[in-house]
Structure 1
Amino acid sequence: MVSNMDYISPNAQFTFDMNQSPLFVKDSQNYINVLGVKQLNTLQGSSLLDIFLSTNNVVEPHYHQNAAELVYCISGSATVNILNPFTKQLQSYTITPGQVANVPQGWWHYEVALVDRTHLLAIFDAPTPEVVLGSDILRFTPSSVMAHTYCMDEQTWKDAIAPVKPSTYIGPYTDCDQPPSPPAQAHTYYPMPHQHYPTY
């Protein structure tokens, strides 16, 4: 890889404290820190999200248009849920410390913490992780388009998505007044050693 970085420049950065780079903070137990080329200018071809979650908190459904993602579990346990665009099936993988799940570039996915103090590291093969969030798709696509497309009453659609806040990142909201329903129990999860990822 050819680099335009001047590694002898006094401006070349070789260390960075990710604790100083929050991407999203829900509360003291649920937050995401980011590291990309904007934070560490000598970084090439990779970036990171440092993700902290408590039980049943969800990194909202999303996709990365510019990168594949490798999710590594540092502590706790989480499910990485991936919509396979070829089979149209939702594949769910439970990971625990030392285990990883791979999300190919552009695939719709989300993560759910199964226990408190879950710590995940998301590693990307791009210098800045770009993202399209489900909450942004729902809020910014005109209601008239969604209602027409899916043969719905427009007001019904508007009422359904009214609670959705743009750029949610980690749900549910702290002011959510519905009883918690653990999304982790919505699917069948298989042990990691029996899973087979697509090869390209």
Structure 2
Amino acid sequence: MINPILQSPNVQLAADSNAVVNYQRDPRNYVTQLFGAQLPTIENGFFNVYLSKGIIVQPHWHTNVTEMVIVIRGEVTTSVFNPFTRERITYHLKPGQVSVFPKGWFHWFVAETDDVHVLTIFDQPTPDIVFGADFLAATPPEVAHRAYCLDEEAYARAVASIQNDAILGPPIGCDTAVSDLSTQPSNAPKPTKGSRD
């Protein structure tokens, strides 16, 4: 069956993928998008992600899509948690290299150089996103204590500063040096196995 949108005399087959800003941390770190709302004929969707060195796309997962990350410029380290082996898989990617995050798998990526441009393509026109920040902030301290024996007061203090809408981190004003042991580089495209978490 032919898509009725394609039969329209005013069918739109082009759009500017930088016209809609999805999120902006600062002038050098931001995300633009192109999804069905901007281009009704599209059968997938994507983000342009622009990053400076050390910036992370916060840990998250998608309930309805598989994501493919393509490095256009710069270098990134991608990490994904394999729910079957319970291990983290990490890749260091350079321009032209690709990483895939299967639907429902927890993942993140970090800019290893300045002036990074990454294209993240989804296999559906609109992704559902569950952010790790939302999950942490919604977990009551008493549950963290009961489940993991974490100190309730310390947990409450730790999650109190989480900015749920901070897609790119660390948040502005964070006085902690940017470091992530999960981003130890490997020679792409060979994976490195992380510690069992």
Fold similarity call, TM over 0.5? yes
Segments of structure 2 that go 5 or more residues without pairing to the other structure are 193-197
For the Cα contact (< 8 Å) 1:52–1:119, is it kept in 2? Answer: yes
Task: Flag the 1:190–1:177 CA change in 2: closer, same or farther, 3 A.
Answer: closer
Cα offset, 1:143, TM superposition? 3.3
For the Cα contact (< 8 Å) 1:60–1:170, is it kept in 2? Answer: yes
For the Cα contact (< 8 Å) 2:59–2:108, is it kept in 1? Answer: yes
AA matched with 2:64: N
SS of aligned partner of 1:192: coil
Matches within 5 A, 1:20-35: 20-35=19-34
Task: Flag the 1:175–1:187 CA change in 2: closer, same or farther, 3 A.
Answer: closer
AA matched with 2:75: S
Please say if 1:117 is aligned against 2:115: yes
Distance in 2 (alpha carbons) for counterparts of 1:11 and 1:159: 55
Root-mean-square deviation (Å):
1.9
Task: Flag the 1:11–1:65 CA change in 2: closer, same or farther, 3 A.
Answer: farther
Q: Which residue of 2 aligns with 1:18?
A: 17
Cα offset, 1:187, TM superposition? 4.5
Distance in 2 (alpha carbons) for counterparts of 1:48 and 1:106: 17
TM-score by length of 2: 0.89
TM-score by length of 1: 0.88
AA matched with 2:89: Q
Counting matched residue pairs gives 192
Q: Name the % identity.
A: 35
Q: Which residue of 1 aligns with 2:93?
A: 95
Deviations 1:82-113 (A, max 9, x none): 11111111111011111111111111110000
Cα offset, 1:195, TM superposition? 4.0
Distance in 2 (alpha carbons) for counterparts of 1:143 and 1:167: 21
Distance in 2 (alpha carbons) for counterparts of 1:59 and 1:48: 15
Distance in 1 (alpha carbons) for counterparts of 2:110 and 2:168: 10
Q: Which residue of 1 aligns with 2:66?
A: 68
Cα offset, 1:188, TM superposition? 3.6
Cα offset, 1:58, TM superposition? 0.1
Segments of structure 1 that go 5 or more residues without pairing to the other structure are none
Task: Flag the 1:193–1:60 CA change in 2: closer, same or farther, 3 A.
Answer: closer
Cα offset, 1:43, TM superposition? 1.0
Deviations 1:146-176 (A, max 9, x none): 3332233322211111111112210001111
Choose the corresponding residue for 1:190, options 173, 186, 189: 186
Distance in 2 (alpha carbons) for counterparts of 1:10 and 1:97: 39
